Amino acid sequence: MNQPDTGGHGLRSFEASSGLDNHFMRLNLKVRMPSSLPLPVQCPRQPARTWLRSLLLLSAILPGIANAGPRPDNMVYLRTIDPTIEQDIRYASAHNFTGHSLDGYDAAECLLSLDTAQALARVQRALQKQGYGLKVFDCYRPSRAVADMGRFATEPGNPRKAEFYPRVDKQDFWRLGYVARVSNHSRGSTVDLTLIGPKALTADTWIPKAAQVDCTAPYAQRWRDGALDMGTGYDCFDERAHTANPTINATAKENRQRLSSAMEKEGFAGYSKEWWHFTFGGDGAPKSVMDFPITPLSTNEVLDSSHQLIVVTTKNWDDIQGIAQRYERDGASFRKVGDGFAVVVGKNGMAWGKGLGNVEPGEGPVKREGDGKAPAGIFRLGTAFGYDATAATKLPYLALTSTTECVDDRKSERYNELVDGAAIAKDWNSSEQMREEAGYRKGILIEHNTPASPGAGSCIFFHIWRGPASPTLGCTAMDQGDISRLFEWLNPRESPVLVQMPEGEYEQLRERWKLPRR
């Protein structure tokens, strides 16, 4: 949803949206179309079902208009430009109005045109001086994802209605303009985002069976995304999400104004119907829609974007003991933070795991479920968890309960997920009961095998050890004091990553990946 592009050039135009929609921009797409196809906006009295069928026919035409080739050179990962901007890419998960991850979102990453990303970084720096910052929900959106949204609007089922569109009927999405066939997001110059700051409530960890709360509910009641009160949640199909809606409270009005003002100063234009939606209008903004998929960063892109690094090495593949060292970025390299500390890994050592970037396993072993090996590779660090109700950490935190489980049954749809076993129907026969393991009194999720491939290994954490000579079943464990320091030090805004492997492999890859000397 955007302000419309205009112009005819003598071709019949398909107006992709009625304008009440910030997911999908309103524009005149110049396309030569068969004369037998009706144009929905030009025929407002046409029965909805008839022109819906016409739009579905158009979905077969429109993908050919977009660039479905490789990522253009001017499209960059936001992390590589400013890793301090937080990311919660909703369409890479099921936590969005469709209830499923969208086509083309093969990684939860924000991509933008270079000029747009640089402008957003300037907004971030200005806000940080005021004690605030940005969190992005969506950036570049492949055209195939826009088509996926369109399909959802015509199919039965309302898995997330109670949260995202409680007062809108699904069959009215088209009439109200909440879905369309072309989105300005697909040009790489539009971003959905929010404002973070010291008065924001701590972000919750979303799971598929999380309770759905109306996106217009009071701030303390609706889904906690780690942002300030903006009057509604993100992706809220409701008039209260209109930027200048007069019914929201004074705090939300002030926060919306602060965000809009900061964005406008750097060349972004907001959209009246959705407070979170901004389009960059600089000369370098892309003009064509694109359809290349969003894929993970390369190994070097991952490391270049990280400002916090933990390196764990062992003597060889079979060793159970190792050394961990913290680092912080210092220009183009890393500098040590504090002293190294002892860790233990899997009872059978390590094996190449499934993490970030393009790590070629080489001649080493490859991790499998139940092999008693800790994963080697590069991994992002996710949610912190523990027995306590709260914790002194900037990481998202999950308080474990008696029903919290980590599913290790490779046949389960919840394989490699932390779930509340009392809240969902079980389709697994094997899991870890998190409150029954004393070492999980304090832990951090290592994002190995995410998204999960059945049998590639599950439930990998940093956690407290039983002792310096007691290995794990595949995790990396350490003294309680050392994991407490990690809790305090790690900051998701700094894109922290774990590099873990035997010393020989580390030395072989160190120069290529620009890793620090041990």
Using alpha carbons, list the distances in angstroms from residue 443 to 96, 185, 299, 435. Answer: 28, 37, 25, 12
Instruction: Determine the pLDDT at residue 518.
Output: 86
Query: Can you tell me the distance from the alpha carbon of 127 to that of 112, in angstroms, rounded to the nearest whole number?
Result: 20
The DSSP line for 77-98 is: EHHHH-TTSEE--GGGSS-STT
- Catalytic-residue membership of 239: no
- What is the SS3 assignment for 471? coil
Instruction: Determine the pLDDT at residue 50.
Output: 44
Instruction: Determine the pLDDT at residue 83.
Output: 81
Instruction: Determine the pLDDT at residue 205.
Output: 80
Contacts 24+ apart (CB under 8 A), 465-470: 465/343, 465/344, 465/439, 466/438, 466/439, 468/321, 468/342, 468/344, 469/321, 469/344, 470/344
Asked if the bond preceding 159 is cis, omega within 30° of 0, the reply is: no
Residue 125 backbone class (left: φ over 0; alpha: ψ -120 to 50; beta: rest)? alpha
Query: How open is the CA angle 486-442-381, to the nearest 5 degrees?
Result: 50
pLDDT in tens, 160-196: 999 999 999 988 887 776 777 788 899 999 999 999 9
Q: Is 192 annotated as a binding residue?
A: yes
State the virtual CA torsion across 332, 337, 343, 349 in degrees, nearest 10.
10
Pick the closest to residue 232 from 197, 256, 211, 257 (CA basis).
256
Q: Is 23 annotated as a binding residue?
A: no
DSSP 8-state code for residue 9: T
Mean pLDDT of the chain: 86
Which residues of the chain are modeled with pLDDT < 50?
A: 1-64
Question: What pTM did the predictor assign?
Answer: 0.67
Instruction: Determine the pLDDT at residue 427.
Output: 94
Domain with residues 13-280, CATH architecture:
2-Layer Sandwich (3.30)
Q: CATH 3.30.1380.10: which residues of the chain?
A: 13-280
Which contiguous run of DSSP H or E holds residue 256? helix 250-265
Instruction: Determine the pLDDT at residue 438.
Output: 96
48 neighbors 171 (Cβ within 8 angstroms) = yes
Query: Can you tell me the distance from the alpha carbon of 353 to that of 374, in angstroms, rounded to the nearest whole number?
Result: 8
Q: Is 277 annotated as a binding residue?
A: yes
Query: Can you tell me the distance from the alpha carbon of 227 to that of 229, in angstroms, rounded to the nearest whole number?
Result: 7
Q: How many residues does the chain have?
A: 518
The one catalytic residue in 15, 86, 109, 274 is 274
Instruction: Determine the pLDDT at residue 66.
Output: 58
Instruction: Determine the pLDDT at residue 29.
Output: 34
pLDDT in tens, 260-319: 999 999 999 999 989 999 999 977 667 789 999 999 888 888 888 899 999 999 999 999
> Per DSSP, which regions of 178-251 are E strands?
190-196
